Structure formats: C-alpha cells, structure tokens
C-alpha cells in the first residue's frame, strides 16, 4: 500500500521539515507498521516526561476503509437498488395508508435512512436458520419495522392484507405489530428492540451467551452465528446502549457486529447539532476496545478526496458540525457549494466540475451499497474484537420536501399526492397516475427478475429473516417428578431461610441427570450474600479465559473457581447485564433449540424497580426461567434501610402479564412451585416465567401437609387451623416469613381474646386476583348463564368470621384480592420507606408484627359488631402498641 505524501509543516519551519523527511524516509524503507511502532515508542518517551499529549481516540472524519481496500461488490447493484426502492415504497405506503383512515401512527424516516444498511445485510450477510445453524441473530431497530414488513411482503411471507393492517392488530384477520414483539408475532420477530437501549445491551449478552453455550458443549452449530445489532444514533444516549461495551471487547466477541445508523437526528432534532456523533462514538468505542469502522462518505467523495492534495477537504469535513450536515441534506447543492466548499477557495475549485445537482447528490456512506458491503465484509471477517460500523445517513432519505433531513421527519406519517409522485419518480416505482393518490402497495410478480433475485439470495443465505421458530421436540426437557423434591416436603428441625432452601434446591437440581447441564445460575456479585458460593467449586464460574491466576482462596473448599466451561454466570454488579443474560438463556429454547433454565438470584430491591423494562421485555420475548428476588421484605431484610428493603417488587411483578409471581413462606412451597414451573415451561412448553420472593430470616421449615400443592400453586391454602371452641372466628393470611406474625397472633388471639384464627399461607395474590377477574368478566359477559366461581371465592365461601392479611409488602399486594373475600379484607403491610433497625422494631414500626396483627383482627371483628370496641382499646394497651405512633406511609 502506498501512503501519500502530505506536508505537515508550513514553509520555513526547519525542524518540521527535517522531521518530515525522516518520517518519509522511514515510511518508505520500513513500511507503515514499523513506522507506527517507532512513533509509538517516541511518543511514549514524550509521555514519560509528563508531557500532556492527545490520546488519539479519534481518527480523521473519513471512511476507515479506503477505496483501494474495498472488495468488489458481489451482487447486481442495480437489481438490488430496484428491490430496495420497492421496499422503501411499501414501507412508506404502509404508514401513509394506515394514517389516512386512522391515527395509529408509524414511522417512515427511520427505515428510509437505513434501507441500504438493511438491504446489503439481507442480500449478502444475514444467514437464515438451517438444520445445523441457528441463523444469525439480528436486532432490527424497532422504528424501522415497516421496512422489515415491506421486505417480507416482497418475499411473499406477508400479503397485502397484513400490510394494510399495519398497527391494526385487532382488525379482522389480524395485523402487524407496530414494532418487533415476539409476544405478538411469535413466528416473525425474535428480539424486541423498541425500548431504546435494550436491544444493544441484549445483543452483547446474547453474543456472550452464544460463547457460553459453545464452551459448555451445548451449542448445536458447526459455524458460529453472528449477532447483528442495529442501533439509532440517538439511541446511543441511553446508558444501556453504551454501558456494557467493555464486556464485549473483554470477551473478544468477534461474533458481534453493531451498525449505528448515524442519520444525525433523533425525534426532536439533531443528535449532536454542535458536535459530531460519529466522532464521539468512535472515541467511546475505541476506548472500550472495539474495532471501529467509520462509513461516512459515499463513492462520489473518493475522487474529491483523492484530488485534494492540501488536506483541506478533510479539514473542512472535520470543521462542519452535524447541524451543518443536516442543513446540507435539506438545502440545494448551491447552498452546500457556498457554505461547505465555499469556505476555502481551493475547495470551491475542487468541485468546479460538479453541477449543483451533482453536489446535492453526493452520497453519504450509509446509502452507498458498495461501501456498506465493504464495511460489513470487514466486520464479518474481523477477528478478536467486536465491530461497530458508524454509518452516516440522512434521516427520511428520499422523502424530499415531505421530510428528508428535517426536524419533523421522525413524526411524518402522511404524504400528499405531490409528495407521493416525487417519491415514485425518485425511486422509479411502476405505479400509474390514476392510483398514486391511494399509495397502493407494489410487488413485482413472482417470475420477475427482482423477485427471483431476492428469493435466490435468501435461499443461498439459508432462509428468511426475521424469523422465530420453536421446535417443540427440542425445546423440552426431562423434568423431575415432584417426588424428586421429597426432602423439602419433610420439613427440617434446624432453622433455615427460604433463600437457604432455594440454594439447597438448586444444588439438588444440579444433580438431576436430565436437567443439570441446562441450568444457568446467574448472579450479580451477590453469591456470598445468598450462600450460592457453595456452587463455585462444583460447577465453576464461566470465564472465556479460564483462570489465569491462582485465586487467593485456592486452599479453601469454596475457592473462586473460574473455568472455561464454568456453569455460573457471575456478572459482576450489573442487574441490567444479569437480566440480559437471563433473557438470552431463557430464550435459548427458541434461538438455539437448546432449552436452558436460568435461575437469576439478586437483591430483590434491584429487580423490577431498577431494571423493570427488562422484566417487561422478558415477557415480550417469551423468556422462560426463574427470577429469585432474594433479601426480600421491608422488615425481613432489617439492617439495610431505605434503599435495600423491598416492599413492592411483588406489585411490579403483578404488572407483568406472563410472570407468575409467588411469595412462598416455606421450603416445601418453593419446591412445589419450582417443580411445577419446570413442568409447565420445560415439559409442557408454556412460554411463561416465574418470580419468587426469597427471604433471609431463619425459622424451622415445617413438613408439607397432604393435599396442599394445588393451593400453593393457585395462591392460597389453609396452613394451620385455629383451636376449636372459641367465641369468635378469624382468618389471617400471611406470606413469606411474616406468616410467623400470623402464627404468633393466632396464639395470642386464642389465649387472650377468645378468637380462633385460621392461618393461611398466601403464596400468590397476583394469581388469585387474575383468576377472580377472569371469572367475574365471564359472568358479566354471560349474565344469564350459571355464574362461575373463582378459586378464592370457592375456597373462602364456607369460612365464617373475619379476614385479615399481613404482608412484608405494601398493603396493595394483599389488597388485590379484597373484593372477593367474604366481608372484605383488613390488610397490614409495609407501606413507606424502610429503616435500618432490628426486625422486631421494624415490624412494630410498619405494624406487621404479631401484636399489630392481633389488634387488626380484633378491630375487624369489632367493625362487624362481634367484639366490643373496648376490647380492641384494651388490647392496644395490653400489647404495648402506641396508638399515636408515626404512620410509616407518607403521602
């Protein structure tokens, strides 16, 4: 390769001249690599003398791949341009049509800017799923969805009716979801991406999970799939987008390719009007250790750059800010000539041979098929590091007056007839004048060269994308029968917490032949908190590098054991990353035909409160597995105080449509729930996931009574009946360790107040409520039929007396079932901010201790006229509860 000589000095600077000649000589005789090494040594010397030097995380504002290194384009680019034009048209028409009769919205300009980026991928790189290959895993930018639908239409996978019903999913015959949602289109979309930042984050953990599967001998491919992620430049502002970049380079994820569509705009306006997003991102990615390919200028610029010997063109390119570049994309060529090139007379001269129209049409890199191909090829072949392609495009490309490069373009949903005609002309769409106003869809016939070409490309690459396929046979596991968990049903004399019970349970599961290999324990730096460090030695911590050092605790039994085929994903302090691993593992049944069972255990406060959108996404993507919110309960986790004490995760969990949320009190309940979860998810194939609250309070775990399994799974069962022969009857629902408040209250009520209270274990208010709502709705819509009765109504129908619930969660958690409890439900819970103190004091403070439960029960009886109010007043006094104490709930 020859490197052009460019002067670095002004005339008359002797020192600079001599340096230059030494440099030129070295370059000529020793070559660029050796020159670079020598220069590095010299700059290191300079640095050692405390001189502040630029760190060099930016390269000039030009393409990383010079024209002479561009490989020949292997396709028929004119053919591909025609195909792309039809897709552009249909993507636009879908949105325009939908909004001519409805207000359902949609986006035109995102795909318009990214069409070439996608089409080069579809025609040359994205590999479909075949027998021995899971397919490349592609995260499409959510707002570009119309383009993916439009392509699927040309491929014959979708028909006109589907396109017509874009964003009208409830229309007759169904419609297309607004964005990529596997929940809504389970055979089409693989990865939800529309919540900005989550797609990029997931893609990193997905690429790493692929390596994990491979290292553990579970991957079924002969050739490794690539993970492609398309990212918006505005999306890069989300902390989730850039937050895990170093994981990808640390893990040498050269199976990961990101394409950042730098159209310089987000929703309201420019991403970095006063700067340059490509340069900013280049520095961030280079700093994080990625391979960075800048794709800024289209081929038309090659000649200009080659002819510019002064370096002024690159200088001008660097001077102009993104706000300027946006302006050049909307103004005529004369404007760019005057304002961009016109700044320096030499540059004006450089474009003298170009007409204004030619200047206007100088392409940006991301719209140039050959350049995009060159960048993808380089990324595809790069070894050792993940690659990011920073591609410069124009938002709303091709929309002309209707929105190309304009600040309103993101929201543009309608085109008038004139604008439609212009679009048609610009992209040569064969649609006649008399129907153009309706923006009809256009699909070339099945035997047209375009359709044949398009289908041939996909066939060669292994099939269509996006596509989600679940192979029912391969996605099932040999799950243990409930009796496998017999030891948990017996109870224990020694005290244990539900967290300890779970740790025991996972170690038992790890001994199960059919299941063991499929278990993925995931922890965000809390293994010791939960006692999971016991697993370190046995199954090892996954590390792609093995263990390059001798761990400080190598002599101990539970030493920190990193292994190349380790099973534990110890993610470090990242709940977002851990959830991403949960999602990658929990969808492995669909992405890889390899069912994996993630058990993700974490501080419950840093679950949905911290990364709730990833919980939501786990539902959308149909992830399976178990989430274990440990150190739960606002009073059970006592010393930690306001930030750690969780009294509301179960409420968050109640908002997730496919999440079964449980709040178990005893070891056997956990075993019953997990055994059934394994059956439903991994034997029956249900695409649901589980949440269990786990606590760190120790108490003896009772044996399981006969016949309670159904109640445990449905959400409520009678745990211990009250003594017979008392005047009054009550029922106390308790969950988690707070059931002990209920049990103690049961004794006090019987001994001192003549009340027989039955204690019930409420394992899931969410499930009880969903079932009750289902029945109520059915009854409402079938008013003359025999009414159905929900589980909770049936269960409580014959019970006498009053009902009280006590929880270590907010009152809203038990309140969920209040409408279906005979005579209403009195609830006690932990509303308000936590405090650090002892459990006993906290439980009194939040009024969920045994004494407060007694008072609430007596009060509920008094409200029904069954107990005198004076009895309640006396109990308050006798039990030492201060009636004027502060109310924990604030507003």
Ligand X SMILES: Cc1ncc(C[n+]2csc(CCOP(=O)(O)OP(=O)(O)O)c2C)c(N)n1
**Sign of the four-CA dihedral 439, 441, 445, 450:** positive
C-beta of residue 691 within 8 angstroms of C-beta of residue 612 = no
404 binds Mg ion (CB under 5 A): no
Neighbours of 862 (CB within 10 A): 17
Q: Could you say which of ligand X, Mg ion, none residue 235 binds, taking C-beta under 5 to 8 angstroms by partner kind? A: ligand X
Q: Is 26 in a helix, a strand, or coil?
A: helix
Regarding 836 and contact with ligand X (CB under 6 A), the answer is no
Question: Is residue 234 at the binding interface for Mg ion, with CB under 5 A as the rule?
Answer: yes
Which residues inside 410-469 make contact with ligand X, applying CB under 6 A? 410
**According to CB under 6 A, which residues from 382 to 421 bind ligand X?**
395, 410
C-beta of 271 vs 804, nearer to ligand X? 271
Shortest distance in whole angstroms from residue 524 CB to ligand X: 22
Among 190, 210, 261, 740, binds ligand X (CB under 6 A): 261
Q: CA Rg, the chain, in Å?
A: 33
The only residue of 3, 25, 39, 267 in contact with ligand X, by rule CB under 6 A: 267
Tokens of 105: 């919205």
Smallest distance, ligand X to C-beta of residue 696, A:
34
Q: Which is nearer to ligand X, 110 or 387 (CB)?
A: 110
Decide: helix, strand or coil at residue 323: helix
CA 475/CA 869 separation, integer angstroms: 60
Torsion over CA: 693, 697, 701, 705 (sign)? negative
142 binds Mg ion (CB under 5 A): no
Q: What is the 3-state secondary structure (H, E, C) of 684-749?
A: CCCCCEEEEECCCCCEECCCCCCCCHHHHHHCEEEEECCCCCCCEEEEEEECHHHHHHHHHHHHHH
Q: Which residues contact 64 (CB under 8 A, 6 or more apart)?
A: 292, 293, 294, 295, 375
Instruction: DSSP for 226-278, please give it.
Output: PEEEEEETGGGGSHHHHTTHHHHHHTT-TTEEEEEEE-SB-SSSBSSTTS-HH
From 22-30, 263-271, 333-341, 349-357, give the range in contact with Mg ion by CB under 5 A: 263-271
- Listed in sequence order, the residues at least 6 apart from 448 whose beta carbon sits closer than 8 Å to its beta carbon are none
Minimal distance in Å, beta carbon 387 to ligand X?
A: 19
Which of ligand X, Mg ion, none does residue 658 bind to, with CB < 5 to 8 Å depending on kind? none
Binding ligand X (rule: CB under 6 A), the pick from 234, 270, 298, 365 is 234
What sign for the dihedral angle of Cα 676, 678, 683, 685? positive
Q: Identify the burial level of 23 via C-beta atoms within 10 angstroms of its C-beta, where 0-12 means exposed, 13-18 middle and 19 or more buried.
A: middle
Q: Which is nearer to ligand X, 143 or 208 (CB)?
A: 143
Least distance in angstroms from the C-beta of 197 to ligand X = 6
Please give the order of strands across the beta sheet that includes 387-392: 137-139, 227-232, 256-262, 387-392, 291-295
Q: Which of 263, 451, 741, 807 binds ligand X (CB under 6 A)?
A: 263
Q: Select from 99, 110, 206, 654 the one that contacts ligand X (CB under 6 A).
A: 110
Q: Which of 192, 232, 521, 888 binds Mg ion (CB under 5 A)?
A: 232
The tokens describing 20, both together, are 């230059």
User: Contacting ligand X (CB under 6 A), which of 121, 128, 232, 566?
Assistant: 232
Closer of 235 and 251 to ligand X (Cβ)? 235
Give the Å distances, CA to CA, from 691 to 500, 670, 811. 17, 11, 19
Binding mask 347-386 for ligand X (x = CB under 6 A): ----------------------------------------
267's contact among Mg ion, ligand X, none, with CB below 5 to 8 A by partner kind, is ligand X
Task: Give whole-number Cα distances, 693 to 379, 690, 699, 759, 831, in Å.
Answer: 44, 10, 16, 20, 17
Least CB distance to ligand X at residue 271 (A): 6
Binding string to ligand X for residues 174 to 213, with x set by CB under 6 A, is what? --------------------xxx-----------------
Between 255 and 265, whose beta carbon lies closer to ligand X?
265
Cis geometry, peptide bond prior to residue 241 (ω within 30 degrees of 0): no
Q: Which does 635 bind (CB under 5 to 8 A by kind): ligand X, Mg ion, none?
A: none
Pairing type for strands 802-806 and 728-734 reads parallel
Binding-site member from 99, 263, 587, 588 for Mg ion (CB under 5 A): 263
- Residue number with CB closer to ligand X (225 or 405): 405
CB of 92 to ligand X, least distance (A): 14
Give me the DSSP letters along 366-394: GG-HHHHHHHHHHHHH--SS-EEEEEE--
Stretch that binds ligand X, among 170-178, 184-192, 230-238, 358-366 (CB under 6 A): 230-238
**Looking only at residues 128 through 147 of this chain, which bind ligand X when binding is defined by CB under 6 A?**
141, 143
If one asks whether residue 265 binds ligand X (CB under 6 A), the answer comes out as yes
Question: Containing H/E element for 840?
Answer: helix 839-845
Of the candidates 119, 136, 233, 669, which one interacts with Mg ion according to CB under 5 A? 233
Which residue, 123 or 393, has its beta carbon nearer to ligand X?
393
Min dist. Cβ of residue 234 to ligand X (A): 3
Helices H / strands E in the chain, number of each = 36, 20
Pairing of strands 541-542, 387-392: unpaired
Note the residues at the interface with ligand X (CB under 6 A).
110, 113, 141, 143, 194-196, 232-235, 261, 263, 265-267, 271, 395, 410
Note the residues at the interface with Mg ion (CB under 5 A).
232-234, 263, 265
């Amino acid at each position: 390769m020859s490197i052009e000589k460019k002067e670095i000095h002004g005339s008359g600077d002797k020192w600079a001249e001599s340096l230059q000649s030494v440099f030129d000589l070295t370059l000529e005789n020793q070559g660029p690599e050796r020159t670079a090494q020598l220069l590095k040594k010299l700059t290191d010397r300079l640095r050692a003398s405390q001189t502040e030097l630029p760190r060099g995380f930016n390269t000039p504002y030009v393409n990383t791949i010079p024209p002479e290194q561009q490989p020949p384009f292997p396709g028929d680019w004119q053919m591909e341009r025609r195909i792309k034009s039809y897709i552009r048209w249909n993507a636009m028409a879908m949105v325009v049509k939908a909004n001519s009769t409805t207000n359902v919205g949609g986006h035109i300009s995102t795909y318009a800017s990214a069409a070439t980026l996608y089409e080069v991928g579809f025609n040359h790189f994205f590999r479909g799923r075949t027998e021995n290959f899971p397919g490349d895993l592609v995260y499409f930018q959510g707002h570009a969805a119309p383009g993916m639908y439009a392509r699927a239409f040309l491929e014959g996978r979708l028909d006109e009716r589907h396109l017509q019903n874009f964003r009208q999913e409830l229309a007759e015959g169904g419609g297309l979801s607004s964005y990529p949602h596997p929940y809504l289109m389970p055979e089409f979309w693989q990865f939800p991406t529309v919540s900005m930042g989550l797609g990029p984050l997931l893609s990193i953990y997905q690429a790493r999970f692929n390596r994990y599967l491979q290292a553990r001998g579970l991957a079924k491919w002969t050739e490794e799939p690539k993970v492609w992620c398309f990212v918006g430049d505005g999306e890069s502002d989300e902390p989730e987008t850039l937050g895990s970049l170093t994981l990808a380079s640390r893990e040498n994820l050269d199976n990961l390719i990101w394409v950042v569509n730098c159209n310089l705009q987000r929703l309201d306006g420019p991403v970095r009007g006063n700067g340059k997003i490509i340069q900013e991102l280049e520095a961030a990615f280079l700093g994080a250790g990625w391979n960075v390919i800048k794709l800024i200028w289209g081929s038309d610029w090659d000649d200009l750059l080659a002819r510019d010997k002064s370096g002024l063109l690159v200088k001008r390119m660097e001077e102009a800010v993104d706000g300027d570049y946006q302006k050049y994309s909307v103004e005529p060529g004369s404007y760019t000539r005057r304002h961009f090139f016109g700044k320096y007379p030499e540059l004006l001269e450089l474009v003298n041979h170009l007409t204004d129209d030619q200047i206007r049409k100088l392409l940006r890199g991301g719209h140039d098929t050959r350049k995009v191909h060159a960048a993808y090829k380089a990324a595809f072949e790069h070894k050792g590091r993940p690659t990011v392609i920073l591609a410069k495009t124009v938002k709303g490309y091709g929309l002309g007056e209707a929105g190309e490069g304009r600040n309103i373009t993101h929201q543009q949903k309608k085109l008038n007839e004139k604008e439609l005609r212009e679009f048609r002309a610009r992209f040569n769409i064969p649609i006649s004048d008399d129907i153009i106003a309706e923006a009809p869809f256009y699909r070339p016939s099945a035997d047209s060269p375009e359709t044949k070409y398009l289908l041939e490309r996909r066939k060669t690459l292994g099939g269509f994308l996006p596509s989600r396929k679940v192979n029912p046979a391969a996605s099932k596991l040999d799950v243990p029968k409930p009796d496998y968990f017999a030891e948990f049903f017996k109870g224990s004399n020694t005290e244990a917490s539900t967290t300890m019970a779970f740790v025991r349970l996972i170690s038992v599961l790890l001994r199960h032949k059919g299941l063991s290999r499929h278990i993925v324990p995931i922890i965000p730096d809390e293994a010791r908190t939960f006692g999971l460090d016991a697993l370190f030695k046995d199954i090892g911590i996954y590390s792609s590098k093995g263990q390059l050092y001798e761990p400080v605790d190598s002599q101990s039994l539970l030493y920190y054991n990193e292994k190349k085929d380790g099973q534990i994903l110890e993610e470090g302090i990242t709940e977002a990353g851990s959830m991403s691993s949960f999602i990658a593992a929990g969808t492995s049944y669909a992405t890889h035909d390899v069912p994996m069972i993630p058990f993700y255990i974490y501080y419950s406060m840093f679950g949905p409160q911290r990364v709730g959108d990833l919980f939501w996404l786990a539902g959308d993507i149909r992830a399976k597995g178990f989430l274990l919110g440990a150190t739960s309960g606002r009073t059970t986790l006592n010393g930690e105080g306001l930030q750690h004490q969780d009294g509301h995760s179960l409420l968050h969990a109640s908002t997730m449509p496919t999440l079964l949320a449980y709040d178990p009190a005893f070891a056997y309940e956990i075993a019953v729930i997990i055994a059934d979860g394994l059956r439903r998810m991994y034997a029956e194939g249900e695409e649901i996931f589980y949440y269990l609250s786990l606590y760190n309070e120790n108490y003896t775990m009772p044996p399981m009574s006969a016949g309670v399994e159904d109640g445990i799974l449905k959400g409520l069962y009678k745990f211990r009946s009250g003594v017979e022969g008392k005047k009054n009857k009550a029922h106390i629902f308790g969950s988690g360790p707070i059931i002990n408040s209920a049990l103690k209250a049961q004794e006090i009520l019987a001994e001192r107040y003549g009340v027989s209270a039955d204690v019930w274990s409420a394992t899931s208010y969410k499930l009880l409520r969903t079932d009750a709502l289902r029945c109520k709705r059915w009854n409402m819509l079938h008013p003359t039929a025999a009414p159905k009765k929900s589980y909770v109504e049936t269960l409580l129908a014959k019970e006498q007396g009053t009902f009280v619930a006590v929880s270590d969660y907010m009152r809203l958690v038990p309140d969920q079932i209040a409408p279906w409890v005979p005579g209403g439900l009195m609830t006690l819970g932990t509303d308000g901010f936590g405090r650090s103190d002892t459990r006993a004091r906290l439980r009194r403070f939040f009024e969920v201790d045994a004494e407060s439960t007694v008072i609430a029960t007596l009060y509920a009886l008094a409200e029904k006229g069954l107990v005198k109010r004076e009895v309640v007043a006396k109990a308050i006094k006798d039990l030492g509860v201060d009636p004027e104490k502060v109310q924990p709930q604030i507003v």
